[in-house]
Every structure is written in C-alpha cells, then in structure tokens.
Amino acid sequence: MDRFRLDGKRAVVTGGASGIGRAIAEVFAEAGARVAVVDLNGTSAKEAAEAFGGGATGWECNVAEKASVEAAFAGIATEGPIDVLVNSAGVAHVGTLLSTSEEDFDRLYRVNVKGTYLVMQAALPAMQKAGGGAILNMASIAATAGLPERFAYSMTKGAVLSMTLSVARDYMAEKIRCNCVSPARVHTPFVDGFVARTYPGHEAEAMARLSAAQPIGRMGKPEEVALLALYLCSDAASFVTGVDYPLDGGFFNLR
C-alpha cells in the first residue's frame, strides 16, 4: 500500500471540517500528508487539524470571496509547497427551475462554481513552481444525470466537471493532473438535516427512500469517497487525468 502514501506531500482540502471534506482530510493525514484544512468555519477547521495531527493546520476561508481565498492561500504558502488540492467545499439546494429563486441560484454559483475556480486559481501557481501536482474536484452524478428538483445544484456540478476537463487539458504538460469524483447520495450531516426539516416525524421512511435511490440499496459513506480521493491524488494514479469518476452504487448502469 506504499504506492498510495502521501508522505512528504502538502494537501489542501476545502470544506475539510465536515462531511466528505473532513473524511478526505483525515484519510490524507493518515496516509502521511501534511493537511491544510480549509473551511468557512475557522474554529472547526482548527479543531479538525488538531484531531488529525501530523502537522495539519486549519484555515478559515470563504471560497466564494477572492480576498478570503487569497489570504488563506498566502498563509498556506508560508508552510511549504502545495502538492495536492481537493475542492470539497460546496452547498446543496432542492428546487426546480420555477421554485429556485435568483438568490439561491446566485448563492450556489458563488460557492460551487466561483469557489472552485478561485481556489484552483490560487493553488495552481504553487503547483507550477513545485513542478506538478494533483487537483481533485467534487462533482456529482447531478452533473450528468437529470435528477428531480436539483436544477441549480446540477448546473453548478456540471460546471465543476467542465472546469475539471479544461484544467486537465491546459496544464497536462506541466505535470498537473486534474480529475473529479461524482458521488451519488452520500450520508452526511446535510442529509440528516434535510430529512429532519422536510419529513418531521417520518425520518425513517424518508431515509429508506433516499437509500433505495441507489441500486446497491444504501447511501455512500464519506470514507468511501475519501479512499477514492486518496488513490486519485496519490502517485499511483499518475496516468489518470481529465476523468470524472462515478461513485454511485450502480446508479448509472444498474437501474
């Protein structure tokens, strides 16, 4: 398993204080990386970094704001080069075209699309200077499947997929790889909160329906996404770039 180790590498994980991002940051730290945990909640980012150990640090950052991103990455740069970047920060939304407000549309665009753009733009020069690196963006099956009531969310994840392909093409010659992962539904605190708000008193039935949407019969686990992320960001995946990896419990091919 040494081929999957990240010893000596510096990894930045946005949204790293909770959910999928936290699972990725933790697995990377276990694999030997020095992790910079970046999150909107600076206190949670620092607490997560302390829990991971291994030289992990926590950074407060609003990925939707250029000044905040630049400040965070200026600080991270003082600790050494950036070898790996994972864009996991994001927000979700439930709604159709007609039920999605302009405010919600703009909010999702700012965080999921503009945030991914700003963070990649801030990290890439450090990778160029270091002679290469690996970028992993968190997309979704919503990027390529017509999911009900996911209009704005699907729009943003389609953009993440397109940006991934563009970056992979433009910086391949500089030994910078860029891929994305497209999970189906993953059981995170967001899902629990959504179910509690939307189906009060019927949480168990709602969870059963959400689980059954994946042919495998359950939701994914954050650590399952993290292990795929570890492979894609390790030297074991040195021949992999410009790829969208579905992690979907059979969603696309077995329905």
3-state SS class at 57: strand
Could you tell me if 159 and 142 are in contact, meaning their C-beta atoms sit under 8 angstroms apart? no
Structure tokens at 210: 């959400």
Quote the pLDDT of residue 63: 98
Q: In angstroms, rounded to a whole number, what is the distance separating the alpha carbons of residues 115 and 109?
A: 8
148-169: per-residue pLDDT in tens?
999 999 999 999 999 999 999 9
Quote the pLDDT of residue 227: 98
Query: In what helix (H) or strand (E) does residue 35 lie, and over which residues does it extend?
Result: strand 34-39
pLDDT reading at 1 higher than 80: no
Residues of the chain within CATH 3.40.50.720 domain(s) are 2-184+222-246
Q: In angstroms, rounded to a whole number, what is the distance separating the alpha carbons of residues 205 and 117?
A: 38
Residue 132's nearest CA partner among 252, 4, 9 is: 9
87-112: per-residue pLDDT in tens?
999 999 999 999 999 999 999 999 99
Residue 58's nearest CA partner among 68, 69, 48 is: 48
Which residues are catalytic, by number? Answer: 153
Residue whose token pair is 């179910």: 195
3-26: per-residue pLDDT in tens?
899 999 999 999 999 999 999 999
Ramachandran angles phi, psi of 32, nearest 5°: 105, 0
Per-residue pLDDT band for 194 (boundaries 50, 70, 90) equals confident
36-67: per-residue pLDDT in tens?
999 999 999 999 999 999 999 999 999 999 99
- What is the fold, at CATH topology level, of the domain defined by 2-184+222-246? Rossmann fold (3.40.50)
pLDDT reading at 189 higher than 90: no
3-state SS class at 138: strand
Q: In angstroms, rounded to a whole number, what is the distance separating the alpha carbons of residues 100 and 92?
A: 12
Residue 38's nearest CA partner among 83, 85, 6, 5 is: 85
